Every structure is written in C-alpha cells, then in structure tokens.
Structure 1
Amino acid sequence: MKIQERIIVTTSLLIVCGSMFFSWFGGSRGVQELSGTIVLLHPVTISCILAILIGVWAGGPKYSFLLTNLGFLGIIMMEVFYFLDWHIGTISGRFSITESFQMAYPEFYVGLTLTTAAYFCNLMIQKPRSASFLFRLDRV
C-alpha cells in the first residue's frame, strides 16, 4: 500500500474507535446508558484493531489484505454481538431482538455504519492489487 492509502485506512480505524466513546445502548438517557467502549475493550476487538494496524503498517501485500479485512469484519461482528446481547445480563435477563432495537441509541447505528464504510473503503483501496496476489491473475 502507498503511504496515502495507509493513512486513509488508519484514519478510518481511528474514526471507528472514536465513535465507540458515545452512548450506544440504554434504557433512558443519562440514567441507564452504556457507551461503545464495552465493545472497544473486549479482547476480540482489541485483537482485531491490532490485526488491522499490523496489516496496514507491517504486512506485505497478501497479508495486508487478509489482516485488514479480517480485522474490520471482526469489529463489525463484535458490534452486532453486543447489539444483540448487551441487555441480557444488565436489564432484561432474556434474549429479545425487540429490546435490542428499542434500547439502541442512534449513535450505535452511526458507529456500525462507520465501521461498515471503513471496511468497504479498505476493500476499495486494496482490492485491485491484492486480487492478483490471491488468485494468481498475474500469471494468466
């Protein structure tokens, strides 16, 4: 990756991490709310962030594509995981998609959209070069 592309991917990762500091879930504002840092501090999310940073700054072309995409997909999966089950241990005690939608603040949807956009931005930056590495199109 070129240095400009590395900076773009790293900046998008920082924006995603920054969106996790807003209130994402809760019963009522100011009384009972959780920020996205519960996702950010999970060991899987931390390892995904490290995978992205290693892929961007230390990985070769093949490993860069693999590590960054796995990292962004892992963060998306962790956000969806917490969306579906954060209220089970804290408020409701049962699995309910209805409660997940009712108790998620708009900031969660913004964070999920930013993470998805960062993933697709990474795909757009790395896809043309990495496809030839992964599928050996350069030998045809």
Structure 2
Amino acid sequence: MNKEIDGRQFTAEVTCLIHPNGKIVFYYDKVSTEIKGIEWKPKIVGKFGCGRNTVRSEIITPETWIESGTMVEYEFIGDYCPKYTSPKACQQATTSDISCFWCDNASICIDSTDRDAHHMKVNKCRVKNTTSE
C-alpha cells in the first residue's frame, strides 16, 4: 500500500485473501506509526454493474485498527436483524457479534453492521428501548 497524505508518502505491506465463502481478510505489516496522527480513511471500494445501473459499494476500516501485525476480517452475516418485526423481538435478538436496534420511523429492526444504520440514526430514526416484563 502506498498512500500520500498531506504531501507525505506512507508505505505498508498489505496481504489480502478472499475465501470461497466470501470472507475477506487483510493483514497489515510495516505500518508507520506516524500515520496514526493523520486523518485518513482506509477502505475497500467496489463497483458492480448490471445493465445500465452501476452500484458503488465501500467498506471503511477504522484507521485505529490498522497497525503492524493487525489482521482485519470481513464476513457477510446476511439479514439477521431485519427478520424481527417488533421492538421487543429486535432488542432480544442482539448477540455478542451483532447489535440490533429498532427504528420507529421505518418500523424495522436494523443491525449495527448495516452501512446505512449510522445514517438512519443521524436522521432521527428514534431508537426505541423496550424492557422485559
């Protein structure tokens, strides 16, 4: 990886492996510690075409995760939370890997890994908390 940020050149070794099941693994090595003080957005970007439509998709890795000797894995988890149709069921569906939250405005259960989840929270999604009785 070669990246120029604020006129400075940063180089690191990045190994990428894509498994047959779709899991994507990145291993970072020889990452300069100087890059920690600079704002940057490491990401995977893909464009998918179907007929006249092109969809651009990206996965942003928090820059704090990237340092020498770090492995980052991405795995498709499917539509886990959206199958729950009530606030109570949505909240109870939360696991150690996935946080589900209920969006009142859209009447949908959204998972924390959903790339649109942050956008919905910011746009007054109104997370509804439920309690067990």
TM-score bucket (shorter structure): under 0.3
Higher CA-based Rg: 2
The TM-score with structure 1 as length reference comes to: 0.26
The TM-score with structure 2 as length reference comes to: 0.27
Larger RCO (alpha carbons 8 Å, 6+ apart): 1
Higher helix share: 1
